[in-house]
Every structure is written in structure tokens, then in C-alpha cells.
């Protein structure tokens, strides 16, 4: 399916790391979008931007820490300065923390919320400035099936992702009259080199027999970001091989 993304300008936060954010950047580029590859890891942001440019689309790297609204605003200003507009925002960054709530440090709990929840909201807050001015835009937030499955040891992470889902539903109603859409894509375990050893122990929870890979999640994100999904807003879509 042609997603009609040629010439669209997309910001991807958390574009590095070789996971979903990297796959999203490459998928949007394959569909013809120009990409602002943002990552706090400068080497990764540069690498993704270089790869996108090699695919024939235009890309720049930015290095905003998404826990800072000021840095997110600078990221968006750079996108507008270089490309003239912002059509798509995809928010990826998250921090899971470690261990149970009772035994986690307060600093670690705050870090989960700062990166996962506020990192999403800061990027959205900044991107809305040009989107509302041009009266168009599509935002896709990376959620998690942890928000509904509530696994032990992920209380703050699951709560942050749940908050993103509720925030998205509310914000979609606020933004509809400005033709700005916002949706969430959820995933559970995603097939990466790091998850390869888990397949045997968890595959029985996945009716389709395997974890989705990051490219498959990226394809769903690209669809929701595109005008092909023009009548979809305020929704949460799980790409999880049918895991219930």
C-alpha cells in the first residue's frame, strides 16, 4: 500500500538503538518521508540519519533529551528550520526501571515516569506548535501491552504507558477540530537479538507462534501516521501476535 508519505516531515524520538525507533525511521523513509532522527545517543542519531539519506529521503539528526521540554522545542524548531513543517511525530523513548516497586529507589521511579510519560508529553507539546499552526498532523505514541497485562516488576512503567493511552484518548478529542490526529501502538515482547532466548519460554502466549519484529511494529506505526488512517484517532492498536 502506498501510504502517500512522499515529502512529509517526520520526527522520530528514540530513533537509535536498532529497535522500533530505528525501524520506524527507515520505514517512513522508504515511504518517502523526510526524517528528523532524534536520539540522546548522538552516534545513533547520526547513524540513522546517514542511513535514511542513503535511501534517497532527506534526514537530519537531533539530540534532544526528551525529559526536557526546552530541548524538545529546539528539536522541533530545527525540523521546521530545515524542512519548513512537521507532519508526523512518533514518540518511542521509555525506561522500564528494575525490580519491584517496594524495593526501587525513588530516583529510579521518577526516571521511569520522566522518560516514559513526560518524554512523550514533552515531544508532543513541542510538535503541536507547528501542527496546530498548519492545521494538520499525525502523532503516534509507542505504548505497551504492559498497560493492560500489568506484569509484576513493571508497576511504574505500566502505569506510565496506561497514562499515555488515556492522555491520547483525551487529546484526540481536543485536537480533532484542528485536523491533528493522535494514536497509540502497543507491543509486548518484540523480536530482537536480545529476546531470542525467550522465544521458547513465551511463545505459547502468542497465538501466531512468534513475537512480532520491530519492522512489523514500524509498519503499523507508519500506517497510523499516514493519511490512509485519516479517520483513525484516539485509538490504541496492539501489534502482539494475538497475545491476550
User: What torsion, rounded to 10 degrees, do the Cα atoms 22, 186, 78, 115 define?
Assistant: -100
Residue 82: what pLDDT?
A: 98
pLDDT averaged over every residue in the chain:
92
22-43 pLDDT tens trace: 999 999 999 999 999 999 999 9
Residue 192: what pLDDT?
A: 61
Residue 208: what pLDDT?
A: 78
Residue 199: what pLDDT?
A: 52
63 carries an active-site annotation:
no
- Relative to beta strand 88-91, strand 59-62 is unpaired
Domain ranges of the chain: 9-233
Q: Is 96 exposed, middle or buried (0-12, 13-18, 19+ CB in 10 A)?
A: middle
Alpha-carbon distance of 94 to 230, in angstroms, equals: 27
User: Across the 244 residues of the chain, what is the mean pLDDT of every consecutive 10-residue run?
Assistant: 91 95 96 97 98 94 98 98 98 88 93 97 98 98 88 89 97 98 90 56 71 92 97 95 75
Q: Among candidates 164, 192, 209, 170, which has minimal Cα distance to 21?
A: 192
Give one word for 187, left, alpha or beta, with left for phi > 0 and alpha for psi -120 to 50.
beta
Residue 203: what pLDDT?
A: 64
Considering 95, 157, 202, 206, which one is annotated as catalytic?
157
Alpha-carbon distance of 88 to 4, in angstroms, equals: 13
Residue 232: what pLDDT?
A: 98
Residue 1: what pLDDT?
A: 67
Q: Among candidates 57, 64, 59, 47, which has minimal Cα distance to 13?
A: 64
210-226 pLDDT tens trace: 788 899 999 999 999 99
Residue 206: what pLDDT?
A: 73
Q: Among candidates 97, 76, 196, 73, which has minimal Cα distance to 154?
A: 97
CA atoms within 13 A on the CB side of 243: 23
Q: Give just the sign of the alpha carbon dihedral 161, 230, 219, 41.
A: negative
CATH of 9-233, one of 3.40.50.720, 3.40.1350.10, 3.40.640.10, 3.40.1390.10: 3.40.50.720
Amino acid at each position: 500500500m502506498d501510504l502517500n508519505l512522499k515529502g512529509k516531515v517526520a520526527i522520530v524520538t528514540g530513533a537509535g538503538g536498532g529497535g522500533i525507533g530505528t525501524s520506524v525511521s527507515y520505514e517512513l523513509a522508504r515511504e518517502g518521508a523526510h526524517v528528523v532522527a532524534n536520539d540522546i545517543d548522538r552516534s545513533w542519531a547520526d547513524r540513522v540519519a546517514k542511513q535514511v539519506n542513503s535511501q534517497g529521503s532527506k534526514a537530519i539528526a537531533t539530540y534532544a533529551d526528551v525529559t526536557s521540554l526546552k530541548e524538545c522545542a529546539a528539536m522541533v524548531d530545527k525540523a521546521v528550520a530545515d524542512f519548513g513543517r512537521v507532519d508526523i511525530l512518533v514518540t518511542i523513548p521509555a525506561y522500564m526501571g528494575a525490580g519491584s516497586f517496594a524495593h526501587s529507589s525513588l530516583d529510579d521511579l521518577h526516571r521511569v515516569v520522566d522518560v516514559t510519560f513526560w518524554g512523550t508529553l514533552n515531544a508532543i507539546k513541542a510538535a503541536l506548535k507547528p501542527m496546530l499552526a498548519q492545521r494538520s498532523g499525525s502523532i503516534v505514541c509507542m505504548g505497551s501491552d504492559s498497560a493492560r497485562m500489568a506484569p509484576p516488576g513493571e508497576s511504574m512503567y505500566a502505569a506510565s504507558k496506561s497514562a499515555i493511552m488515556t492522555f491520547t484518548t483525551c487529546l484526540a478529542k481536543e485536537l480533532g477540530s484542528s485536523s491533528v490526529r493522535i494514536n497509540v501502538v502497543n507491543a509486548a515482547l518484540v523480536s530482537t537479538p536480545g529476546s531470542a532466548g525467550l522465544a521458547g519460554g513465551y511463545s505459547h502466549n502468542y497465538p501466531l507462534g512468534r513475537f512480532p519484529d520491530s519492522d512489523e511494529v514500524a509498519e503499523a506505526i507508519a500506517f497510523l501516521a499516514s493519511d490512509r488512517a485519516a479517520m483513525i484517532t484516539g485509538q490504541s492498536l496492539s501489534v502482539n501476535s494475538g497475545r491476550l
